Structure 1
Amino acid sequence: MAKRQRVDTLLVARGLAPDLARARALVMAGQVVAGERRVDKPAELVAAEVPLRLKGRAARAFVSRAGHKLDGALEAHGVDPTGFVCLDVGASTGGFTDCLLQRGAARVYAVDVGHGHLDWRLAGDPRVVNLERTDARAISAENVPEIIDLLVADVSFTSLWRVLGPAVERLRPGGLACLLVKPQFEVAADEVGTGGIVRDPALWERTLAEARGEAVALGLDVVAVDRSVLPGTRGNVEFVLLGRRAPADAGREST
């Protein structure tokens, strides 16, 4: 019988993923093909000599798995950021920023309250304005002087809606917002289960209903809400809300 190996291990061994975490993320996102068949489980055993390939943009590596979350959302809705000025709220290591640059963004303002997290390759990229040690609530025309074409956000340990308002103010009318909605940081602390995971679908639905309302209150027409192509690091189900900044006299959800 031919020797069989885990598909995530093979991806790393063949240089298709830099580490096991990235390999597992690619498999879980449905981006790995073994022979002519898509592989869905990182632990799946395949023949050691089977041809492996990555689908589409998954062949690109990002500095963090978050890049694949944004990439999947942009791909699903045909959003092309080529030439865009973008704002990344909660940039951290820079997965979203990296995705935007690889997709042709002209510039990305990378905002994070922390310090020293942004990958050195991005921090040194002339297309990136590194706004570390910056609270998203302090975003203004002073630190983000350009009008933004595309706003992206991925924040943790606080509600997205508590910090997003000033960023939306920098978004041009008709500009897009691609926002990661994390139920684990939106529900009450006593509603989060063991291991920090929100498992109740009713809580997901409530979070999404609230997210739609919050987005409209900020002046965004809700274009779509989808499940993220990847779960959170601990396995939490996450969602992506795509919105478009409405004119000043509008405030309704798109139909």
Structure 2
Amino acid sequence: MSNKYRLDKELLRRGLVVSRSQAEDIIRRGFVSVAGISVTKPGLLVSENVQIVIKSRVSFVSRAGEKLHSVLDILQLDLSDKVVLDVGSSTGGFTELALRMGAKKVIAVDVGTNQMHPSLRNDPRIELHEKTDIRNYVKGSTTHIDVVLIDVSFISLRQILPYCATLIDRNSVIVAMAKPQFEARLDLPKAPPSPDQLISSGSGLPSINVAKATSPSVKPLSTRADLPWERAILRKSSRDIVKHKGVIKNDKMRREILKHLEDSIQNLFIIIDKADSGVAGARGNRERFYLLRKAG
């Protein structure tokens, strides 16, 4: 009797993908078949000798590229000859699309390691910073960033955007993908942490040492979560997320969460435009892109 393994791990073991994150992505997108049957569950147990086929060529190295591509016409984003900062670059979906659109350089920043797709890793136009939290990233003194692209998970944009604001001027723009399941949190600090507040957590990812003072150089976002109705929205949405295993099923609740995010960032940014992604998240969440410019 042959051993059985998770499908995402088996794809990696056979050398069909370069990372488990890429395996999970293409499985959920329906590009993988097992014994002739299309599957979408990365945790499916398969035998070591079963036939596994990647059914078609993936147009982007990750779903993130497809998501950003789906809103380009609405946001009218021009990346030609621009320097782009990709926050949460991961496999490189945003980075790849930026280069396709003519960006002359992409600074890719991610807390993980060995996630960038091999087709991108050695591209001379990419400056890759792995094991780097954007809140610790120090921009070169001569580098002017024209566009910031943000795709982060397990953290709210409210904790990321204030740091991005310190890296750009008012001629730059930010395109941030908001994931409502990660914006529905009650435990966010009222002000963003400074770089020296960041300490290593047990997972190896950065966490926040709230005992230290906030850096005055990073302007905090406005906060309305202390208002009873705001807290009620976030508390209810948090329960809904747990109930549905990380997916927000209630569209009214989703809109309320995103409205709270918009209210929170308006003291630092002007919302030029916004558009819902035409490609759903891996688990079905509907994400929204914001085109932002620094206020003031």
- Scaled by the length of structure 1, the TM-score of the pair is 0.70
Unaligned regions of 5+ residues in structure 1, if any? 1-18, 25-58, 251-255
- Confirm or deny: 8 A CA contact 2:83 2:104 kept in the other structure: yes
What is the alpha-carbon distance in structure 2 between the residues aligned to residue 230 and residue 185 of structure 1?
Answer: 18
* 2:286 aligned partner: 237
Distance 1:197 1:145, change over 3 A: farther
What is the alpha-carbon distance in structure 2 between the residues aligned to residue 179 and residue 104 of structure 1?
Answer: 19
- Confirm or deny: 8 A CA contact 1:183 1:203 kept in the other structure: no
* 1:165 aligned partner: 162
- Confirm or deny: 8 A CA contact 2:75 2:275 kept in the other structure: no
* 1:146 aligned partner: 143
* 1:180 aligned partner: 177
What is the alpha-carbon distance in structure 2 between the residues aligned to residue 166 and residue 117 of structure 1?
Answer: 23
* 2:68 aligned partner: 70
Equivalent pairs counted in the alignment come to 193
* 1:29 aligned partner: none
Per-residue deviation, residues 63-113 of structure 1 (Å, max 9, x unmatched): 111101111222222211000001111111010010100000011111100
Matched letter for residue 157 of structure 2:
L
Matched letter for residue 172 of structure 1:
D
- Confirm or deny: 8 A CA contact 1:183 1:204 kept in the other structure: yes
More relative contact order, 1 or 2 (CA 8 Å, 6+ apart): 2
- 3-state DSSP of counterpart to 2:290: strand
Per-residue deviation, residues 139-158 of structure 1 (Å, max 9, x unmatched): 2234x851211111010011
Where do 1:62-211 residues align within 5 Å? 62-142=60-140, 146-188=143-185, 189-192=238-241, 193-211=243-261
What is the alpha-carbon distance in structure 2 between the residues aligned to residue 187 and residue 107 of structure 1?
Answer: 34
- 3-state DSSP of counterpart to 2:77: coil
- Confirm or deny: 8 A CA contact 2:71 2:276 kept in the other structure: no
Matched letter for residue 265 of structure 2:
A
Matched letter for residue 203 of structure 1:
M
Query: Please, what is the CA RMSD of the aligned residues?
Result: 2.1
Distance 1:121 1:162, change over 3 A: same
What is the alpha-carbon distance in structure 2 between the residues aligned to residue 172 and residue 94 of structure 1?
Answer: 25
Matched letter for residue 229 of structure 1:
G
For residue 210 of structure 1, report the CA deviation from its aligned partner: 2.0
Q: Which has the higher strand share?
A: 1
- Confirm or deny: 8 A CA contact 1:69 1:230 kept in the other structure: yes
- Scaled by the length of structure 2, the TM-score of the pair is 0.61
Task: State, as a whole percentage, how many aligned pairs show the same letter.
Answer: 33
Matched letter for residue 74 of structure 1:
L
Give the greater-gyration-radius structure (CA): 2
Where do 1:4-23 residues align within 5 Å? none
Q: Which stretch of the first structure deviates more once superposed, 169-178 or 85-94? A: 169-178
Unaligned regions of 5+ residues in structure 2, if any? 1-25, 32-56, 186-237
- Confirm or deny: 8 A CA contact 2:75 2:274 kept in the other structure: no
